[in-house]
């Protein structure tokens, strides 16, 4: 480029785009407190999203309490006994969730009421 624009223009453009299309602080707080769930993600990723939504403006104790509430009971049990820093707890939670997801048996049963089986058997007999 012969005459590149100053980096300040890019910074201003980036800030403008974020202010126009990004979530407001109130929307971020709502997501953080009520909408954000673990789902299929790793526990550490949920922690990262929580910190991103609040721009690291709250204490680790707050994150830890909120984050632990969103963990499955077996992970809460393991982590509640630890006094390690929050980032280390995130790594432990990831390992526990990997172990449990690999070793968890899946059992599915289906029961069809007797009334639904009878017409099918009768139609097959004809």
pLDDT tens-place values along the chain, 126 residues long = 456 566 688 888 777 877 777 777 777 777 767 777 788 889 989 888 888 887 777 888 888 888 898 989 989 988 888 889 888 999 999 999 888 765 555 666 766 555 555 666 667 766
Domain ranges of the chain: 26-100
Q: What is residue 83's predicted lDDT score, i.e. its pLDDT? A: 86
Q: What is residue 1's predicted lDDT score, i.e. its pLDDT? A: 45
Alpha carbons 42 and 54: distance in angstroms, whole number: 19
The enclosing H or E element of 124 equals helix 114-125
Alpha carbons 96 and 7: distance in angstroms, whole number: 45
What pTM was computed for the model? 0.58
């Amino acid at each position: 480029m012969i005459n590149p624009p100053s980096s300040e223009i890019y910074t201003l453009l980036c800030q403008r785009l974020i202010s126009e299309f990004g979530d407001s602080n109130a929307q971020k707080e709502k997501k953080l407190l009520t909408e954000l769930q673990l789902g299929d993600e790793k526990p550490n990723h949920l922690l990262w999203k929580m910190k991103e939504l609040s721009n690291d403006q709250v204490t680790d104790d707050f994150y830890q309490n909120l984050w632990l509430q969103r963990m499955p009971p077996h992970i809460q049990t393991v982590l509640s006994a630890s006094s390690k820093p929050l980032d280390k707890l995130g790594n432990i939670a990831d390992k526990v969730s990997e172990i449990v997801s690999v070793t968890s048996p899946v059992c599915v049963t289906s029961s069809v009421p007797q009334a639904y089986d009878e017409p099918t058997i009768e139609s097959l007999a004809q």
